[in-house]
Amino acid sequence: MELPKLLNSYDLEPFLANPALLTEQTRELQLAITNYPDTPTNLLEILVNSSESLVAEAASNHVNWAGEITENWHYLADTTLQTKELRQNDHLAVELLKIAPVPDYFLSEFVPASYLSLALKNPHLPLRYRVKYLKRLARESNIEPRLQVAESRETPVPILEILAGDLELPIRMAVKSNPTTPRELIELMEGQLAVAKDWNTDSEQLATLGESRWDLIRLAVAQNLATSGETLMQLAGDGVFKIKLAVAKNPQTPANVLGVLAEHSATEIKSAVARHPNATEEILHQLFPTKKSVLRRRENLPASILERFFGEAATDEPIWKQYDLRNLLLRQSNTPTWILAEFANVDIEALRAERLANFANYFDIEEPLTDSFPPTPAEIVECSIRENMHFLAEIPQHPQVSVEILDRLSHARIAKVQLAVAQNLQTPEVLRLSLLENLSVNAEEEIKIEIAKDINTPIHILEMMVENEFTDKKLLSRIRKTLTSNCNSSG
């Protein structure tokens, strides 16, 4: 737009007798007359009603129409500039900051805090602008700008009041050390903090403190085990991330509050909910797609969640070869019996025959080696079977194991598995005694020691082991101690 041309009193004469003629003039001429210092009131009356917004605004602010402003003129100027539709130019505003005071409203919310700090270094920056910059810096998420505000002696008390309860200790310490900060303000904040942290504080007081203007106080309420579910629900919607996270981590947070937090977009909050002991089965299912790794580390997962893990891992590979899944499901106490049966469903004899055949083909062995060293193919295969099938010994120890599974595992020719079956009190007595009698004679020393250590081993099994001439002396000593202990306890 062209700048208004300069006028003199002669240019106004055609309109003085007939002001209505102004409405027929170009916008440029109307603006020029509006900006002329000696334009009379009768012409301004026409111009303030102009259909051109720029003309009407300029006329309404003319000294001959609005009168001379004798005080607080700068506030009117600020208000006019703030309500004016100006094109945003952060780059230009930042460049101007280097050489002149610039009002804060010329800089958008996207201008980095470092430039706001630069503005404060200008000694000619008016106090009203300085306070506005301090307010903006006090709201920054990074600690450095807030620390600058907390340390500044120019920071007004209302801003120091907000920072007095900041979540960061360095900022609170800076506010406390600032000579502008009233002592009673610090005493008030610290007193409320002590009450908010106290587990003996009643729920009504905590509810009141949960509405505190200080983030630190609300955080302490969110962490307090005595805080009511209603207050925790309110804090779950707090604008401060750390407060919402504290609610998600509070052991007393009820399921309905966790359900709200489970909808949060932040992965850290979702993870805290997934770990929470009060998270319901429904919430765990909701979080399952994105929080499997967290759920794997939980104890006592519901059976439906475990079934979901099992179902998603189904592949052509035998289930017992999937180590991570196997480790998870055998560790969990609620693993359904049918899944345990799937793990127990291993044809060990077929596996043994297959490995022997593969071993023979690989080494082209026609006859098994007869010397004790090196080991025979059968011994090598047997060792690998024991290593691969060690997990079978965990199944009889599982609380959801059935008698049918125990019976199936009793036929496995692996001593540790048979011992685990024998030591399960669900195992039928006849089967249990049969296994123990066989293991006490034919198993390796490690298994015999476990039998001797078990307080549930029948006396006659221990006596059989004592009478066996091949029983190791250390084992005999262990058995004698067990027998003596049993006799003393029964006597």
What is the tens place of the pLDDT at every residue in 276-318? Answer: 999 999 999 999 999 999 999 999 999 999 999 999 886 777 8
State the number of CA atoms in the 13 A half-sphere of 454 facing the CB. Answer: 20
The predicted model gives 257-269 an average pLDDT of 97
Q: Which residue, 163, 181, 199, sits at the end of a domain?
A: 181
Residues 43 and 85 placed together within one structural domain of the fold = no
Residue 331 resides in a domain? no
* 328 vs 343: CA distance, rounded Å: 12
Instruction: Please tell me the distance from the alpha carbon of residue 125 to that of residue 131, in angstroms, as a whole number.
Output: 10
Count: domains in the chain? 3
Whether residue 79 sits in one domain with residue 175: yes
**Do residue 175 and residue 82 come from a single domain?**
yes
Q: In this structure, is residue 335 part of a structural domain?
A: no
Residue 85 above 60 pLDDT?
no
Rounded (5°) CA angle 212-218-220: 135
What pLDDT does 365 receive?
45
Judge if 158 and 83 occupy the same domain. yes
Q: Is the pLDDT of residue 200 over 60?
A: yes
Domain-located, residue 448: yes
Farthest CA pair distance, the chain? 140
User: Strand, helix or coil at 145?
Assistant: helix
Domain closes at, from 138, 166, 181: 181
How many CA atoms, within 13 angstroms, populate the side-chain half-sphere of residue 6? Answer: 0
Two structure tokens written together for 196 = 């908010």
**Same domain for 77 and 31?**
no
Q: Is residue 117 part of a domain?
A: yes
Mean pLDDT of 453-473: 78
- Whole-number pLDDT of residue 110: 75
Distance CA 472, CA 448 (A): 10
- Clarify whether residues 26 and 118 are in a common domain: no
Provide the token pair at 276. 């929470």
Please tell me whether residues 463 and 489 are part of one structural domain.
yes
Same domain, 25 and 80: no
In a domain? residue 140:
yes
Question: Domain for residue 106, yes or no?
Answer: yes
> Are 414 and 385 within 8 A, CB to CB?
yes
Minimal CA–CA distance to 253: which of 282, 280, 215? 280
Q: Would you state the structure tokens that stand for residue 43, as one six-digit string?
A: 């012409």
Residues 137, 146 contacting (CB under 8 angstroms): yes
Identify whether residues 26 and 93 lie together within a single domain.
Answer: no
Please count the residues of the chain: 491
Domain end (from 30, 49, 66)? 66
332-390 pLDDT tens trace = 999 999 999 999 988 877 777 777 777 666 554 444 444 555 677 777 777 877 788 88
Regarding whether 143 and 108 lie in a shared domain, the answer is: yes
Residue numbers of the domain that contains 453: 442-491
Alpha carbon separation from 3 to 27, 31, 35, 56, 66 (Å, rounded): 11, 9, 11, 17, 23
pLDDT at residue 191 above 90? yes
Structure token digits, residue 320 = 């017992």
Query: Do 106 and 126 fall into the same domain?
Result: yes
The Cα–Cα gap between 314 and 328 comes to 15
- Give the least confident one: 97-111, 170-184, 378-392: 97-111
pLDDT at 84 over 60: no
The token pair at 146 is: 């807030």
Look at residue 134 and tell me if it is in a domain.
Answer: yes
Structure tokens at 27: 């916008």
Could you tell me if 287 and 274 are in contact, meaning their C-beta atoms sit under 8 angstroms apart? yes
pLDDT value, residue 416? 93
Confidence of residue 81 (pLDDT cuts 50, 70, 90): low
What SS3 class is residue 364?
Answer: coil
Same domain, 82 and 131: yes
Contact at 8 Å (CB) between 359 and 383? Answer: no
Distances (CA, A) of 101 to 77, 94, 105, 120, 376: 15, 10, 12, 9, 91
* Angle (nearest 5°) at CA 225 between 220 and 231: 70
In a domain, 13, yes or no: yes
